[in-house]
């Protein structure tokens, strides 16, 4: 059977029964016959072309994503294809990045950097995570890792989820948390239910001076409503994801003093490659043996 694997992960040790062809960062170099591809690993941070090529693989049986999110791929999955995400691969990297965004905003690090030679004028007593109320919307493995790091610095963490199970609060019942939180972190998957979940109604509940952090997907936020609230200085935002991506250079978000933006790099760390290779090796071996794969996406993600 033929597997199509991005070159950054070509060092993975796979069973001898699996033939591997390596492609570049996107899909400029295609295997000799897409008809033979049964296993496909789209490259990380590639263009939409790395997903659209799935339509040209009639015998595809297994897709191994290197992302936790599956929203770009689910519309392309047909009967007979098993889809697996990279749950667990990005936990620590995204959690570290989230913590960096929070601290950069709370401690005024970006404000001072922007001030250049006038940086000393930004000196003042700043907020801290110690005893801060932090509400994390999304209680999956990434959300839990973010919570662990925040608690290590003395933050008081509450989790919100769609169902409200597992010691979490249901989103529809979380108004009290949203009104009192010093920091709100969005780390939910993008689904039909979560598209524009953070809308004008939500932003009207956010405490004045609070920090809203999005490390999920840009589309889970009604960006227009968020910009309106940010424009009047109601709260601060630290965003690793926006819509569209890349964010146009003339977007108002770039110049807002209460906004920090990074270019969707929360999971882009060296640890991702080590963990990604380990996941590929384990799941390829399971697939060759006919065993159940890890991180299979079933039903409503």
Q: Hey, which residues does 159 pair with through a beta bridge?
A: 136
Question: In angstroms, rounded to a whole number, what is the distance separating the alpha carbons of residues 110 and 260?
Answer: 7
Question: In angstroms, rounded to a whole number, what is the distance separating the alpha carbons of residues 85 and 91?
Answer: 13
Is 137 within 8 Å of 168 (Cβ atoms)?
A: no
Q: What are phi and psi of 13, to 5 degrees?
A: -90, 110
Cα angle, residue 134 at apex, residues 114 and 174 outer, rounded to 5°: 125
Q: Is 150 helix (H, G, I), strand (E, B) or coil?
A: helix
Q: Hey, which residues does 239 pair with through a beta bridge?
A: 214, 261
Q: Which residues are catalytic?
A: 217, 245, 264
């Amino acid at each position: 059977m033929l597997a199509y694997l991005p070159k950054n992960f070509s060092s993975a040790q796979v069973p001898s029964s699996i033939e591997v062809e390596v492609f570049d960062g996107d899909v400029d170099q295609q295997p000799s016959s897409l008809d033979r591809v049964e296993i496909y690993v789209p490259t990380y941070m590639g263009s939409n072309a790395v997903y659209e090529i799935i339509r040209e693989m009639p015998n595809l049986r297994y897709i191994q994503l290197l992302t936790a999110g599956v929203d770009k791929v689910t519309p392309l999955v047909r009967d007979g294809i098993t889809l697996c995400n990279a749950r667990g691969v990005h936990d620590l990297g995204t959690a570290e990045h989230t913590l960096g965004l929070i601290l950069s905003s709370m401690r005024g690090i970006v404000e001072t950097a922007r001030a250049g030679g006038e940086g000393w004028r930004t000196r003042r007593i700043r907020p801290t995570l110690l005893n801060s109320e932090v509400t994390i919307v999304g209680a999956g493995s990434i959300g839990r890792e973010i919570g662990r790091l925040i608690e290590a610095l003395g933050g008081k963490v509450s989790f919100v989820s769609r169902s409200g199970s597992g010691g979490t609060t249901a989103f529809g019942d979380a108004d009290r948390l949203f009104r009192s939180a010093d920091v709100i972190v969005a780390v939910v998957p993008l689904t039909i239910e979560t598209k524009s979940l953070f809308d004008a109604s939500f932003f009207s509940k956010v405490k004045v001076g609070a920090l809203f952090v999005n490390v999920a997907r840009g589309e889970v936020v009604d960006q227009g409503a968020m910009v309106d609230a940010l424009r009047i200085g109601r709260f601060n935002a630290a965003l690793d994801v926006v819509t569209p991506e890349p964010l146009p250079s003339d977007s108002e978000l770039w110049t807002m003093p209460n906004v920090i933006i990074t270019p969707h790099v929360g999971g882009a760390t060296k640890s991702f490659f080590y963990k990604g290779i380990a996941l590929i090796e384990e799941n390829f071996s399971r697939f060759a043996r006919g065993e159940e794969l890890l991180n299979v996406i079933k039903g409503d993600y």
